[in-house]
Structure 1
Amino acid sequence: MVATVLRPYILACLAVTCGTLFSGCDFDAVELAIKRKAKEVVKDALKPKTDQPQQTASTDGSPVLKSADSLTVASFNIQVFGQSKLENRRATEILAQIVRRFDVVAIQELRSKQQDVIPRFLSLVNSDGSKYDYVIGPRLGRTSSKEQYVFVYDTNRLEVVPQSVYTVNDPQDLLHREPLVATFQAVGVANPFRFTLVNIHTDPDEVDYEVDALADVFVQVQQDRIREDDVILLGDLNADPYHLGRLGKLPSLVAVISGVPTNTRGTKTYDNLIFDSRSTVEFQGQSGVLRMADEFGLTLEEALEVSDHEPVWAAFSITEGVSHGRQAGNEPVEMFR
């Protein structure tokens, strides 16, 4: 990537310099011309192509460690997270270790009529001295199999903005499980990053209709009473970044996971974090998929006991409006449809 960008820049410099030698122009004019040409070349080299998405920013492996200037945001579909899974000691120990790696985790597929699953799970998470809390939505679904969305977050790093938590209103019943929305803000820093998370698990049988509906959800959340422009839609979309319907056609929307599978069997890219790149400049260009089998030395069968999905994550600046730039080869997918 670097060589590709620099090559035309060098050629441009040589062209301008050689032209100057023969035309007798002064060196100030040479310098100005080179600077202008360099800007044009680099801008053109980094500009996304309109006929295909940009290359993925996604990587396999561990997320970046918690740091003073970064926030790690994750999404995790914990398959059928209920009483039975809570009684699987090995699975819950791994789940607790995963949660501790992130500042906030959007969880999908909590399934239990008893409302003690998350409190009991957080007791395990916090048993090492951590201080995680949670936000939970109502039980949702059109059948007897109901699910709940959950946000689990580190109170040493984040706080929930008052009166920001709600379930999206869906009067036309376009979604099986209406998204849970919550706005978080970094603590302990000046000018803290504030962002809104939209937790979603689409229905696999009606995914085409639901990703279309999520386009309206995304815009509505941007315009809700909180008026937060940093909106991150995350969860199990049951669709890869190239098949997001009207959601994928929203201007400047990017999906940070692409080209790598997010399910435990390694066959599908269904889990993601999506945001408007014009607004959410705090994205640090780092994202990926945590491979449970590799990270914890598990067989495929043992990893599947934890979940049939892997956690996906992205890193953001802890300070509002600070862009760290994007590393070469680490571009998120810009979705053109």
Structure 2
Amino acid sequence: MLTFRMRGARLMGALLALAGLLHVALTLKIAAFNIRTFGETKMSNATLSNYIVQILSRYDIAVIQEVRDSHLTAVGRLLDRLNQDDPNAFHYVVSEPLGRNSYKERYLYVFRPDQVSVLDSYQYDDGCEPCGNDTFSREPAIVRFFSPLTEVKEFAIVPLHAAPLDAVAEMDSLYDVYLDVRQKWDLEDVMLMGDFNAGCSYVVPSQWSSIRLRTSPAFQWLIPDTADTTATSTRCAYDRIVVAGTLLQHAIVPDSAAPFNFQAAFGLSNQLAQAISDHYPVEVTLKRA
């Protein structure tokens, strides 16, 4: 079950309608960010929370992974900070806690309601966790967006924080998730993104041929294998963005997909950068209409 929270629904509708009438010349920036152990401790630290808010404010849609917040206290604080200058700047969608045992994580979407609206959402059903025949450690929480200002008007986002030792199998199974989204919503334009653990020791070169998400010509991988999406001393392309659907693929601003190195952007020490997260966000921009 996904929880959708918004403020000022009438204002949101008015802003979307006005933006559509005026054809505001805007692009849409989307990101996936694994914020290591995001919860009350991190949001209670003024320095770390300030940088997290700065990073997320760059985006119109951001999908946050590794949310460890059973009572949504940290999520509430994050939204208060994002909305401190405008109470309707950001809304959110959050999944239930996901995991096969006592360790649980949530997926969290934060988005600007004057740029996009949520049409629908659902939690992918990958089988019976207690039975041991489920596919994902943290099954995707999928959201369908309407974007009046961009070339592609409707698209879905499928997030994944893959279990490191099951990265190959989980990435391969994203192909099945894509087919499920197509069947459910009759929608081909889908962005799959997140910390796939898609590099270094978790995926060796000989294994790529067994991953349908990689071998099918329907998908474009926007973050290359040579990228470094980690804020640590490792150089690994763990975090990825993959797009399917002709309209969505054509709507990508060329060369806009990349990790955002917040350490370099903000001039942070290694220690402070890694306290924020051991991953950089991966981001991409969609063309305006």
Q: TM exceeds 0.5?
A: yes
The residue number in structure 1 matching 2:123 is 167
Contact 2:189–2:246 (CA under 8 A) maintained in structure 1: no
Q: What are structure 1's unaligned runs of at least 5 residues?
A: 1-66, 320-337
The residue number in structure 2 matching 1:57 is none
Out of 227, 236, 242, the position equivalent to 2:195 is 236
- Structure 2 residue matching 1:73: 3-state secondary structure: strand
State the 1:156 CA deviation.
Answer: 1.5
Out of 91, 98, 105, the position equivalent to 2:48 is 91
Q: Distance in 1 between matches of 2:192 and 2:213?
A: 10
Q: Distance in 2 between matches of 1:190 and 1:313?
A: 16
Higher-Rg member (1/2): 1
State the 1:312 CA deviation.
Answer: 0.7
Contact 2:27–2:150 (CA under 8 A) maintained in structure 1: no
* Percent identity of paired positions between Structure 1 and Structure 2: 30
- Structure 2 residue matching 1:101: 3-state secondary structure: coil
The amino acid of 2:235's aligned partner reads T
**1:182-193 mapped onto 2 (5 Å cutoff):** 182-187=143-148, 189=149, 193=153
TM-score norm. by structure 2 comes to 0.81
Contact 1:193–1:317 (CA under 8 A) maintained in structure 2: no
State the 1:68 CA deviation.
Answer: 2.4
State the 1:192 CA deviation.
Answer: 6.1
Q: Distance in 1 between matches of 2:145 and 2:268?
A: 33
Q: Distance in 2 between matches of 1:274 and 1:300?
A: 29
Q: Tell me, yes or no, if structure 1 residue 284 matches structure 2 residue 253.
A: yes
State the 1:89 CA deviation.
Answer: 1.0
State the 1:115 CA deviation.
Answer: 1.8
Q: Distance in 2 between matches of 1:282 and 1:146?
A: 35
State the 1:73 CA deviation.
Answer: 0.8
**1:1-337 mapped onto 2 (5 Å cutoff):** 68-129=25-86, 131-161=89-119, 164-171=120-127, 172-187=133-148, 189=149, 193-224=153-184, 226-240=185-199, 244=208, 245-258=211-224, 259-265=226-232, 266-276=234-244, 278-280=246-248, 281-285=250-254, 286-319=256-289
The amino acid of 2:228's aligned partner reads P
State the 1:278 CA deviation.
Answer: 3.2
State the 1:190 CA deviation.
Answer: 8.7
TM-score norm. by structure 1 comes to 0.70
State the 1:309 CA deviation.
Answer: 0.4
- When the two chains are superposed, the root-mean-square deviation of aligned CA atoms in Å is 1.9
State the 1:214 CA deviation.
Answer: 1.3
Alignment size in residue pairs = 249
State the 1:277 CA deviation.
Answer: 5.7
Q: Distance in 1 between matches of 2:154 and 2:288?
A: 9
State the 1:252 CA deviation.
Answer: 3.2
